[in-house]
Structure 1
């Protein structure tokens, strides 16, 4: 195997992997699209199987901007869910616990001794 055969193999492998990534991206976007009917999705998939390069190019031209918007919306939704989970798991800071205890003390719900105990527990 010569040097140029190896270089050609690397280029072809890169192009094939790039095409597979594009194909999976298109198929993922097809199933993420809520507005398209099942028949439309099935037709796109059939054309992706039988005329793959032309269909991928047409899909990118027709749905490229919508594809980007759906991807950004999905990423933002995942980020919002992750942030909400982190806030839920992390709990409150010691300052927030002390502020809550102070509000209870000011309302007369707890005594000064209970406030001091809650404050000590928050700072521990």
Structure 2
């Protein structure tokens, strides 16, 4: 193998990996889209298998904007779910923490100093 064979192999490998990434992006977008019927999805997949390059170009031209919008919507939904989970794991809101502390104080489970510490922590 000489130098140019190695360069040619790298270039071909790059384009093949880029092609696979485009195909997987299209397939993920197809199955992410809830407005497209199952038959339309099946037709797109069949054409991607038979005429992959032309179908990918047509898909990107016809549905490219929708791909970006669906991806952005999914990203926002994922962020909201993560934020909700973090809030759930981190604890309740300050009002609920103070109310729980007051209940523990009234029940005699904690001292007044511990209750003041709970209030300070909740309000920070």
What residue number does 2:98 align with?
Answer: 100
Residue deviations 1:37-85 (CA, integer Å, cap 9, x gap): 1100000000000000000000000000000000010011111111111
Does the CA-based 8 Å contact 2:48-2:56 persist in structure 1?
A: yes
Q: TM-score, normalised by structure 2?
A: 0.80
Aligned pairs, number: 117
The 1-side partners of 2:55 and 2:17 are apart by: 17
**Which residue of 1 is the match for residue 6 of structure 2?**
6
- Are 2:98 and 2:119, in contact at CA under 8 Å, matched by a contact in 1? no
Runs of 4+ in 1 over 6 A off after TM superposition: none
User: 1:91 Cα deviation (Å)?
Assistant: 1.8
CA distance in 2, matches of 1:37, 1:92: 42
Aligned twin of 2:114: 117
* 5+ long unaligned stretches in structure 1: none
Instruction: Work out the CA distance in 2 between the residues paired with 1:71 and 1:44.
Output: 19
- TM-score of the aligned structures, taking structure 1 as reference length: 0.80
> Could you say which residue in structure 2 is the equivalent of 1:61?
61
How large is the Cα RMSD of the aligned pairs?
A: 3.0
Cα shift at 1:23: 0.2
Counterpart for residue 36 of structure 2: 36
